[in-house]
């Protein structure tokens, strides 16, 4: 019996085992191919999302405190800057709490951006301007979350910059008497409300 005939007879005899192996390998290959396709799709979606949020931004200069607004103009007039970048735009980024005045619904830990017309020109958005005065622009998810619509009155509370960082204070426990804070016109910083114990002088209903 030659080797080829022996192999064929072995395949026919163990056809059930061989079929199970082939099906298993095919299933594993299909699962791996699907995972690769899904993973690539997720990476592409995340890449597009990040690109949409960054817009034309390629470099960011951050500071824990405020610096001169004219710094943007000084950098743009620098010859070294103009050789590497097209434009610059100053932006204030802080964390705050947004409340819809009519319903009282609010959302905490909201990113609040202070921008003007230069922001829209920087990103090449035609026909956009402001906000002006006491106006504000809300993202669609935030507006839906607090029930705000065009023309709604919203209250934005932001953390006041301080020389003492709030983060180290989180290692301690604080008790805040709200009545005293209101009399002194010293509201506690927003991040402190996440770990401080609030004490009210209001009587408790029996």
The whole-angstrom separation of Cα 29 and Cα 26 is 5
- Kindly state the helix (H) or strand (E) to which residue 154 belongs, with its residue range: strand 154-158
pLDDT tens for each residue of 108-157: 889 898 888 888 888 888 888 878 888 888 989 999 999 998 888 999 88
Are 118 and 110 in contact by the 8 Å Cβ rule? The answer is no
pLDDT at position 166: 52
Q: What is the average per-residue pLDDT within 26-42?
A: 84
Q: What is the average per-residue pLDDT within 98-112?
A: 89
Highest averaged pLDDT of the listed ranges 37-46, 110-119, 174-183? 110-119
Average pLDDT, the chain: 77
pTM of the predicted model, to two decimals? 0.55
Instruction: Give the three-state DSSP class for 100.
Output: strand
Neighbours of 186 (CB within 10 A): 10
Neighbours of 98 (CB within 10 A): 23
Q: Give me the phi and psi of 114, to 5 degrees please.
A: -100, 110
């Amino acid at each position: 019996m030659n080797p080829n005939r022996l192999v064929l007879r072995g395949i026919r005899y163990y056809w059930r085992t061989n079929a199970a192996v082939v099906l298993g390998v095919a299933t594993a290959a299909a699962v791996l191919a699907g995972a690769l396709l899904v993973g690539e799709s997720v990476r592409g979606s995340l890449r597009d999302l990040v690109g949409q949020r960054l817009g034309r931004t390629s470099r960011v200069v951050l500071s824990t405190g405020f610096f001169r607004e004219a710094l943007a103009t000084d950098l743009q007039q620098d010859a070294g800057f103009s050789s590497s970048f097209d434009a610059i735009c100053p932006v204030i980024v802080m964390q705050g709490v947004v409340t819809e005045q009519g319903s009282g619904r609010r959302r905490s830990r909201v990113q609040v951006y202070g921008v003007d017309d230069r922001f829209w020109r920087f990103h090449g958005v035609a026909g956009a301007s402001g906000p002006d005065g006491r106006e504000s622009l809300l993202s669609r998810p935030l507006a839906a979350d607090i029930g705000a619509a065009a023309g709604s009155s919203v209250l934005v509370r932001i953390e006041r910059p301080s020389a003492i960082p709030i983060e180290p204070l989180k290692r301690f426990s604080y008790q805040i008497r709200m009545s005293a804070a209101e009399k002194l016109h010293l509201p506690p910083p927003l991040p402190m409300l996440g770990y401080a114990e609030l004490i009210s002088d209001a009587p408790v209903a029996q």
